Structure 1
Amino acid sequence: MTNTVTPSRAKTSAMIASIAEPGQKTASAPFGHALVALAEQDPTVVGLSADLAKYTDMHIFRDRFPERFFQVGMAEQVLLGAAAGMAETGLVPFVSTYSVFAARRAYDFLCLDIAEPNLNVNVVGGLPGLTTGYGPSHQATEDMAIFRGMPNLTIVDPCDSVDIEQAVPQLAAAAGPTYLRLLRGHVPTVLDEYDYTFELGKASVLRGGHDVVLISSGLMTMRALQAATALAAHKVDVAVVHTPTIKPFDAETVLAELNTDRLAVTLENHTIRGGLFETVASAAVLAGVAKRVIPVALPDAFLDAGALPTLHRRYGLDVDSIVATVLDGLA
């Protein structure tokens, strides 16, 4: 379902604040609708939530398949333990909660009940990074850093509704556990304007450019594309490489773009510690690529509460800040 966000609909200070800009093309609840489409074809797909179905778009699945939906209440460890048991019987569970609860409260259950036996459980985490203004208790700014060290776990950081819709069936088909950083509600639709198809484990060069290469994941790919357009007015030609899969990481594609004389910048909606920047940096070191990389990322700190546009400007995730970072790097 595609629509356009009007200024009055773009909530900026609520728990489930939208990242869509006024007038931007969006799709409503792409995860929920993609999961329903998958479940209509695959009777083994089930959904579980820890009292957050409405706020993770799992309610779309719940309303369509109530007999295949399980509400465990505010008990994230039970959520993942139950999903592990279902996966052992041949079901394909998708479980939804906030990223902070999956990463901080239920890590051991995901690690030992699901990842160690390599079960097909798909964890969908709402409010990743700085996508809520409710402060450190709900801002999962370090979720990828926590999860990158877990063996067998695939990590996906989608840019928009296209990524999410195409990722869901591929996550279900993957042999082991997955973690999806969910964008929910009215999610921007961006990648349909590029010759792009989501492929699990692969990065994609969305546009070429001779002066700068921006390597991005998640909603920051949307910002990277906007920044590339803005930088054209400064006579700066910018390439954008989208890396929706953080683990396993497509080092071959990324390093081929990195190993040039262009200015290289990574962009992520995550702390500078343990996310995309350090993934790219470690891949470069292992491959013997000597290259300076400038990070655009959240600081290694507990963030403030407030309205999302204000916070994104404060912490350098907005387009103007990205443009300024690039121009400074070129100076």
Structure 2
Amino acid sequence: MAIGPRGPRSREERMTPATDTNTGAGPKVRLKTSAMIASIAAEGQRTKPAPFGNALAELAKDRPEIVGMTADLGKYTDLHVFAKACPDRYYQMGMAEQLLMGAAAGMAHEGFVPFATTYAVFASRRAYDFIHQTIAEENLNVKLACALPGLTSGYGPSHQAAEDLALFRAMPNMTVIDPCDALDIEQAVPAIASHQGPVYMRLLRGHVPLVLDEYDYRFELGKAKLLRDGADVLVISSGILTMRALEVARTLEADRIGVAVLHVPTIKPLDTETILREASRSGRMVVVAENHTVIGGLGEATAGVLLRSGVTPKFRQIGLPDEFLLAGALPTLHDRYGISAEAMARSIKGWL
């Protein structure tokens, strides 16, 4: 661990904000960290603090086999809440994701249910082989909760997990979850703890938006949920793009465009029955929206389901491009890459 003027610094505190490459001509500007890891909540939007950490601490009261493990990122994955509630069941493994995954596998072998946290890039790239060989192949009861999924960091490719869903979808035995908001996370935690086998869950941290409580929503592992109906467009979405899709649906009502939103929090196993039922309704364009590269994620998984079943609506994808993404302020990047609510609305209107 590096030593700063006030003592040891965590890995995130040591990171230097990257240069904003989206400023165009003129001198390059050094961005404040807050602009690069800003909350995904819109101004004035309702939020809940640390839904993952609080849900896990609450669950652990009656589940003594649950342990929390991290790779020097307890504070930045909200696992510090669990650490405070259950200090004797909290393991700080240092900056070594491979060690974290191997130790989590060992804990699972001994009957514990480890929740291992790190950043999504470190789990999906740095520790992939350890997860594959020591956790997934053994079908062990390890739960991976990984922060900064997709484009939720402006630090550039080293911290933008644009391909994590594709990687973990391809791993046998692995269940893959992409929650939308604080409610989704709170309800997913006990569900994945009860599931036997490894789980990879994307993690939203800090003050997380709260939107799904307005839609009588309840998380069910392996189930997609139709949040609202509409006659013109069906948006099939996961993660924070479900939140954006709901914003788009309200915006396009003013143009008399009816947008249905089907939230798919479980990427694997995919709820093919619900997807086929909704996509088979005639007259609707199907748009898959995800905070992930268009390669190998929910979009291509959905396209495969539709084609194999002979269902062929007009089909479009909203997602991150197949390229290394720029560093910069998140609102700028989201609009540049087409995943802001405004950019999504423009795309959908242009396709109709």
* Pairwise TM-score range, normalised by the shorter structure: over 0.9
Count of matched residue positions in the alignment of Structure 1 and Structure 2: 320
When the two structures are superposed, what TM-score results if normalisation uses the length of structure 1?
A: 0.95
User: 2:328 matched to 1:306?
Assistant: yes
Please show how residues 53-202 of structure 1 align to structure 2 within 5 Å: 53-202=74-223
Q: Separation in 2 of the partners of 1:318 and 1:274?
A: 21
Q: How many angstroms does 1:63 deviate by?
A: 1.1
1:102-151 superposed Cα distances (whole Å, 9 cap, x missing partner): 00011111111111111110001110000000000000000011111100
Residues 14, 132 of structure 1: 8 Å contact kept: no
User: 2:247 matched to 1:226?
Assistant: yes
Q: How many angstroms does 1:13 deviate by?
A: 4.2
Q: Residue 42 of structure 2: which of 18, 21, 29 is its match?
A: 21
Q: Residue 286 of structure 1: which of 296, 308, 319 is its match?
A: 308
Please show how residues 4-19 of structure 1 align to structure 2 within 5 Å: 13-14=34-35, 16-19=37-40
User: 2:290 matched to 1:264?
Assistant: no
Q: How many angstroms does 1:15 deviate by?
A: 5.4
| Identical amino acids, percent of aligned pairs | 59
Q: How many angstroms does 1:195 deviate by?
A: 1.5
1:294-318 superposed Cα distances (whole Å, 9 cap, x missing partner): 1000000000001100000000011
SS in 1 for 2:184: helix
SS in 2 for 1:284: helix
Unpaired segments ≥5 residues, structure 1? 1-10
Runs of 4+ in 1 over 2 A off after TM superposition: 11-17
Q: How many angstroms does 1:64 deviate by?
A: 1.1
SS in 1 for 2:255: coil
SS in 2 for 1:321: helix
SS in 2 for 1:228: helix
The aligned counterpart of 1:8 is none
Q: How many angstroms does 1:292 deviate by?
A: 2.7
The aligned counterpart of 1:205 is 226
Q: How many angstroms does 1:291 deviate by?
A: 2.4
Q: Which amino acid letter does the alignment assign opposite residue 47 of structure 2?
A: T
Q: How many angstroms does 1:12 deviate by?
A: 7.6
The aligned counterpart of 1:41 is 62
The aligned counterpart of 1:30 is 51
Q: Separation in 2 of the partners of 1:70 and 1:173?
A: 21
SS in 2 for 1:41: coil
**Which is greater in Rg?**
2
Relative to 1, partners in 2 of residues 1:284 and 1:172: Cα closer, same or farther, differing over 3 Å? same
The aligned counterpart of 1:275 is 297
Relative to 1, partners in 2 of residues 1:13 and 1:310: Cα closer, same or farther, differing over 3 Å? farther
User: 2:263 matched to 1:242?
Assistant: yes
Residues 12, 309 of structure 1: 8 Å contact kept: no
When the two structures are superposed, what TM-score results if normalisation uses the length of structure 2?
A: 0.89
Unpaired segments ≥5 residues, structure 2? 1-31
Q: Which amino acid letter does the alignment assign opposite residue 177 of structure 1?
A: P
Q: Which amino acid letter does the alignment assign opposite residue 295 of structure 1?
A: Q
Residues 12, 308 of structure 1: 8 Å contact kept: no
Q: Separation in 2 of the partners of 1:289 and 1:213?
A: 14
User: 2:274 matched to 1:253?
Assistant: yes
1:220-274 superposed Cα distances (whole Å, 9 cap, x missing partner): 0000000000000001011100000000000110111111220111110000001
1:149-190 superposed Cα distances (whole Å, 9 cap, x missing partner): 100100000000000000001111111000010000000000
